[in-house]
Amino acid sequence: MTLEYGKSRLLVPALLAASLGLSGCGGGGGGDGGGGNTASGITVVPKSFDFGIITEGNEDHVLPRQFIIRNEGTTTHNISSMSLFGDHPNQFELDESGGNAPCGAPPFDLPAGGSCTVVAEFKPVRLGEFNALLVAQSDDPNTPTFGGVLRGTYEPIKSIHVNVNQVNACAFPPKAFVSVTDQADFPIPNLVAGDFTLAGFAPGSYGVQPISRNYTDLSLSITMDYSGSITDFPDAVDNMEAGATSLVDAMQDNDEADIIKYADDVKPMTEYFKSDKDILKAAINNPPDLGRDTAFYGATEEAIARFDNPGSNNDRKAVIALTDGEDTVVEDTEAALHDTIGEAVGADIPVFTIGFGEFLQEAQKDELQRLADGTGGLFYQPASDANLQQAFLQVALLLFEYQYVIEFDDLSDKEGTSLEVTVAYEGVKDATGTKTIQACSGP
């Protein structure tokens, strides 16, 4: 089937505001993640930014990037022009009035120690890999020409992935929650029942619809890494907290969230699950003092356990687990991974993992992928800290708009078997996801 994509009415405005509120210096994947030029004078932060891979139809789900122009000299300088040059300037847009301290149209004077912002957006009009230069001119003899590099890739959907996130046999009616994503982790919208095939179920014996039309409520736990390798980089903390805030902003009336922070110790920041967004945002912004180690598995298991406490009454559940490296508290990470997967599967709670930061190694990426795969979640790996907001947007699009709910008349005779869901999508190979149907212990 052919799908039509539209700009999310709920998510993009909130996440756009969050992304522009950050002044982090992180560059995109493959670029220089540092600040501007080291010489005194006019500098641009970041020096480069890669928007990453955007799949066809998701042009409106790409967050802009703020660039900061700074005068690090001792005298006022005039900025005479700002524009896009290079190989593909027409694939990007420059907004001189964007960001949290807009520069405005040149020419303008930038006082010593002053700064202002512009915003760059990736606006591809054809498929391909693109780059451009943000170039500005000043009367500073040290840096008469300065700027940054923009990159982005726009490609067709080449493959899809199906994850059976949850199978709730105890609900009335019984239901499963399923995600369908492409190779860049964007959710696939507008699928219909005819695109789904369930092994062992006759067509018409189940119903399928997007979560946004079903208004199924969500209980969400967010675990946030405050180990030393994160807190040593304030921009990484800012990006993580802004991302968590954007998920709270996307919540609907009956959604609820729980905030947990960890380093040496694990500290719940809320009294179980809350729907009050002000309380949740205060918890996100409340700085913990938890040491420098990384109790990742302890925090994830704590998040799972707290779903049993009062206040978590929704059928649809998810843990968002953020980290930048290995668990440095447990003695046996393989055993901890196995135990955490077992806890999540037993509670039918998917764990969506987000790995970020410059210290994330291949071994940790593998652990995060296995944790997500083993529990029905997904693993997101933004190209850099500065791309973390894009990962949060894609998580939010999935959980609050484009996850699918499959409703059944009865699953009691299927307990202990695997629910196998295959999805067909035009132009790519069919994909299948499975998850064990846990025995219903409810009334």
List pLDDT tens digits, range 41-81: 899 999 999 999 999 999 999 999 999 999 999 999 999 99
Does residue 12 register a pLDDT over 60?
A: no
pLDDT at residue number 204: 82
Return d(Cα 135, Cα 115) in angstroms, integer: 16
- Amino acid (1-letter code) at residue 44: V
Among 227, 236, 230, which residue's Cα sits nearest to residue 25?
236
Across 151-177, average pLDDT:
94
Distance CA 395, CA 374 (A): 18
443 contact partners, CB below 8 Å, separation of at least 6: none
Do strands 351-355 and 145-155 pair parallel, antiparallel, or not at all (unpaired)? Answer: unpaired
Tell me the per-residue pLDDT of 353-382, one tens digit each, with 9 for 90 and over: 999 877 788 888 999 999 999 999 999 998
pLDDT higher than threshold 60 for residue 23: no
Average pLDDT over residues 411-427: 92
- Fill in the DSSP letter of residue 274: B
**Residue-level pLDDT at 441:** 60
Q: How far is CA 61 from the centre of its chain?
A: 12
- Domains in the chain (CATH in brackets) are 12-155 (2.60.40.10), 157-443 (3.40.50.410)
Give 235's DSSP letter.
H
pLDDT of residue 34: 40
- Residue 30's pLDDT is 41
Q: What is the mean pLDDT of the chain?
A: 88
Question: Backbone phi, then psi, for 117, in 5-degree steps?
Answer: -125, 150
Burial of 139 (0-12, 13-18, 19+ CB in 10 A): middle
Residue 37 pLDDT > 80, yes or no?
no
| C-alpha dihedral (240, 246, 249, 250), degrees to nearest 10 | -130
What pLDDT was estimated at residue 305?
95
Q: Is the peptide bond before 46 cis (omega within 30 degrees of 0)?
A: yes
Classified as helix, coil or strand, 66 is strand
- Mean pLDDT over residues 160-166, rounded? 97
pTM over 0.75: yes
pLDDT in tens, 81-116: 999 999 999 999 999 999 999 999 999 999 999 999
What is the tens place of the pLDDT at every residue in 204-252?
889 999 987 656 689 999 999 999 999 998 888 998 999 999 999 999 8
- CA 37 to chain centroid, in Å, comes to 30
The percent of residues above 90 in pLDDT, for the chain, comes to 72
Whether 25 has a pLDDT exceeding 60, the answer reads no
